[in-house]
A and B are shown apart, each in its own frame.
Chain A
Amino acid sequence: AQKVTQAQTEISVVEKEDVTLDCVYETRDTTYYLFWYKQPPSGELVFLIRRNSFDEQNEISGRYSWNFQKSTSSFNFTITASQVVDSAVYFCARGNMLTFGGGTRLMVKP
């Protein structure tokens, strides 16, 4: 099976710190999509980003940024100036039939 690995099971930071969530994936496909989802305590998964394998440009959206490195099969997610509301479990996933990583629980303390 082509896995998605999120090696960090849990990260704890203090508010306003920057934090990077790692994601490494396996694939035999030449074209594929990568995703990040956020799961707040309510449980519902919230879509954050989709990235096509052809597009290796890094993307920034407010305090969120993503670093896609095809050479190392990594798609890391950075939150700048973290806030308590960022506390959640974050999942990296690879398409077409989405395979999810195990998730990283981020706790941001005030």
Chain B
Amino acid sequence: SQTIHQWPATLVQPVGSPLSLECTVEGTSNPNLYWYRQAAGRGLQLLFYSVGIGQISSEVPQNLSASRPQDRQFILSSKKLLLSDSGFYLCAWTRGRGSGELFFGEGSRLTVL
């Protein structure tokens, strides 16, 4: 069966510090991978998606970046965090193309102080 994991689950970082959130999918190959952010009390915002290794599309300009060094690994990074980067980050995957069901990770709660 397929599983998705992301870590860390909780992170408290000072403004200006770097960030690295990792997400891995097991039990499938060539997944489409996504990073979403959910600000407090708000909906889900698509940040990045990837259809293959090294292929990253950005939906929202910001100081975050994403990388996909391996087929089932998706990393969300920042060189210098801002207060506005605080939120709940969710990694997700779908099978291949089209509108398949999104499978979400457990989420990573980031607080920038």
Contact (A91, B44) CB under 8 Å given A33-B99, A35-B101: yes
Closest B residue, CB atoms, query A105: B41
Q: What residue of chain A has the Cβ atom nearest to residue B44's Cβ?
A: A100
Of chain A, the residue at the smallest CB distance from B57 is A97
CB pair B88–A97 under 8 Å, yes or no, is: no
| Partner-contacting stretch, out of B14-22, B74-82, B105-113 | B105-113
- Assess the A44–B99 pair: CB atoms within 8 A: no
**B7 an interface residue at 8 Å Cβ cutoff?**
no
Contact A32 B90 (CB under 8 A): no
A99 contacts B by Cβ under 8 Å = yes
Type the 1/0 row for B90-109, where 1 means its CB is closer than 8 Å to any CB of A: 10100000111111111101
Number of chain A residues whose Cβ lies closer than 8 Å to a Cβ of chain B: 22
Quote the shortest CB–CB distance from A32 to chain B (angstroms): 7
Residues of chain B within 8 A (CB-CB) of A37 are 102
For chain B, what secondary structure do more than half of its interface residues adopt (helix, strand, loop), or is it mixed? Answer: strand
8 Å CB contact of B103 from A6, A42, A47? A47
B43 lies within 8 A of A91 (CB): yes
User: Contact partner of B43 among A33, A96, A101, CB < 8 A?
Assistant: A101
A110 within 8 A of B: no
> Which of the residues A42, A45, A95, A102 comes within 8 Å of B42, measured between beta carbons?
A102
CB distance from B28 to the nearest CB of A (A): 16
Q: Is B98 a contact of A44 with CB atoms below 8 Å?
A: no
B-side contacts of A100, CB under 8 Å:
36, 43-46
Cross-chain pairs A/B with CB under 8 angstroms, 14 sampled = A35-B99, A35-B102, A37-B102, A42-B106, A45-B92, A45-B104, A47-B101, A91-B44, A96-B98, A97-B49, A98-B34, A98-B99, A100-B46, A103-B44
Beyond A35-B101, A44-B105, A103-B44, 8 additional contacts (C-beta under 8 Å) are A33-B99, A43-B109, A45-B44, A45-B92, A45-B104, A97-B49, A98-B99, A99-B46
